[in-house]
Amino acid sequence: MRDFTESVVRGVQDPRERVGLLFAEVRDRLRYDPYSVTAAPPTYRASAILDGGPTWCVPKAVLLTASLRAAGIPAVLGFSDVRNHLNSEALRELMGTDLFVFHGWSAAYVDGRWRKGSPAFNSELCRRFGVPPLEFDGSQDALLHAADGAGRRHMEYVRERGMFVDLPFDELMATLLDTYGPAMVRGSGSSRPEDPAFGA
């Protein structure tokens, strides 16, 4: 993690610029894939996430938070429940709802204030939805888009679950299973749906 962080922010001292560089790198390094949820604790270590493939919002937030800390920026994990009004049919059928519980983001402490940033959606996915990729440098919050490029309602934040120093893994998994059942957790025996909305 130290090597990764240094490779991104080498020579940069300004905290906001450091936050911006790390946010963009994590946002686009790993493609967002909501079908990649696992129940294996080792897969949520920042070093494992860094070397893994496409993943979902929580591991991306874990990676960004660890990277910010390695760069000397105080950072914590944050979680919200969000409603995706443009959810794909395949994902809605699997979830049984358009509510995403425990959506993960990071909060960075810059210039005396905590600011929230969500690195979940990579630039390519944002282009599919007709929205600009989020940018985050700690000067203001950068959370998921309220509307898509056509003005349709997109992401709605409906509940704050708070900020945490460490990943509340047991609570996270219990909430996912209680909300969606085992189908959303990879390794449960269910096959990944063919979903062009989140394909490569």
CA neighbor of 138 nearest in space, from 83, 64, 46: 64
pLDDT band at 70 (very low <50, low <70, confident <90, very high): very high
pLDDT band at 21 (very low <50, low <70, confident <90, very high): very high
> DSSP code of 157?
E
**CATH topology classification for 2-181:** C8orf32 fold (3.10.620)
pLDDT band at 196 (very low <50, low <70, confident <90, very high): low
Q: From CA 145, how far away is CA 155, in angstroms rounded?
A: 6
Q: From CA 85, how far away is CA 21, in angstroms rounded?
A: 30
Asked if residue 118 lies in contact with residue 144, where contact means CB atoms within 8 angstroms, the answer is yes
pLDDT band at 188 (very low <50, low <70, confident <90, very high): very low
